[in-house]
Amino acid sequence: MIETRQLQVFLAVWENRSFSRAAHEVHLTQPTVSGHIRVLEENLDVRLFDRSGKEVTPTKAGELLYSFARQILRLNLQAEREIAKFLGQEKGSLDLGGSNIPGQYILPGVIGRFKADRPNIKVILRISDTAAIAAAVASGELELGMVGAVVRGKSLSFEPCFHDDMVLIVPPGHRLADCKKASIDDLASEPFVLREKGSGTRLASERALQAAGNLQLSDLQIVAEMGSTEAIRQAVRAGLGCSIVSLRAVKDDLEHGLLHAPVLEGVQLSRQFYLIWHNQRTLSPLAHAFRSFLLSRGSPS
């Protein structure tokens, strides 16, 4: 007999390709995760993963089980939600995703306010780049997401929900640090630190520069690409180059003189964040309630 917890652990290992990362995700020790997988393999009488050192690769049987495991857990969660709805209770869990900036600076506060009147619910927040969050919502792994750019062709609805200002940042001592304004030519002549492909910040910056002066990312002197705003913040503070990031992420640094933000003339460095969901799936009552809360009164001050 297959237990729900075994399937949860199996999915974590499958998606992370690692027993240690899976253990962190499901809040178990690595030996416990290995034990769950061993029992599952014994019950099914088949090997689900090939292990070679630290590398973990699903077998053909593991690939087959993956889609069924996701369906089983999704149906199990749906059954719990429907029963809770029938009983007039708000229980269960809500799977949300946020790209880097909304995931770190917006959604935690909104979730706290939403949960204040719903003590019996659990909210799970995944943080990744815009492309990954959009893909997870499109596949049904997440019910709702908040991202910094519109991603086309994924059967998703995008509803504007928050405004975000971005700024050009340079380190103290930089030739532009004491300037109130900078030009596109200034930007093109400086080492530049860029977010990774799939990032909403990168997409928004690229579109803003193209709209202002037909400046392409390939025209910049890219010295590094990094996977998070925090990494870029630290890199610019260390003098690696300049960058464009959300004002939310560097507000304290600017106030304390750890970074400087000259205004980039002629470039509209602002964007929308979007709440997204799959437009061909019915939201659960809990997801629908969160969406309504966020759009009506969940906005941070």
Looking at per-residue pLDDT, the higher value among 99 and 53 belongs to 99
Give domain status of residue 292, yes or no. no
Give domain status of residue 78, yes or no. yes
Give whole-number Cα distances, 255 to 99, 181, 231, 259, in Å.
25, 17, 19, 8
**What's the one-letter identity of residue 93?**
S
Domain stops at, among 89, 117, 142 = 89
Report yes or no: 103 and 121 within 8 Å, Cβ to Cβ. Answer: no
Tokens matching residue 109: 């506060």
Residues 266 and 171 both lie in one domain:
yes
Q: Could you read off the pLDDT of 196-235 as tens digits, one per residue?
A: 888 889 988 998 988 887 788 888 999 999 989 999 999 9
CATH of the domain at 8: 1.10.10.10
Give domain status of residue 109, yes or no. no
Report yes or no: 67 and 141 within 8 Å, Cβ to Cβ. Answer: no
Query: pLDDT category, 259, cuts 50, 70, 90?
Result: very high
Domain containing 23 equals 1-89
Query: pLDDT category, 124, cuts 50, 70, 90?
Result: very high
Residues 177 and 261 both lie in one domain:
yes
CATH of the domain at 226: 3.40.190.10
Give domain status of residue 141, yes or no. no
Give domain status of residue 299, yes or no. no
Q: Could you read off the pLDDT of 33-78 as tens digits, one per residue?
A: 999 999 999 999 999 999 887 788 999 999 999 989 988 988 888 8
- Tokens 């964040």, residue located: 273
Closest CA relative to residue 164, chosen from 58, 23, 271: 271
pTM: 0.65
- CA dist 200 and 134 (Å) reads 11
Give domain status of residue 116, yes or no. no
* Mean pLDDT for all residues in the chain: 89
115: buried, middle or exposed (CB in 10 Å: 19+, 13-18, 0-12)?
middle
- CA dist 60 and 161 (Å) reads 42
Indicate the number of domains in the chain.
2
Report yes or no: 242 and 113 within 8 Å, Cβ to Cβ. Answer: no
Give domain status of residue 220, yes or no. yes
Q: Which residues of 183-219 are buried (b: 16+ CB within 10 A; e: fewer)?
A: bbebbeebebbbbeebbbbbbbbbebbeeebebeeee
Asked whether residue 90 carries a pLDDT value surpassing 70, the answer given is: no
Give domain status of residue 170, yes or no. yes
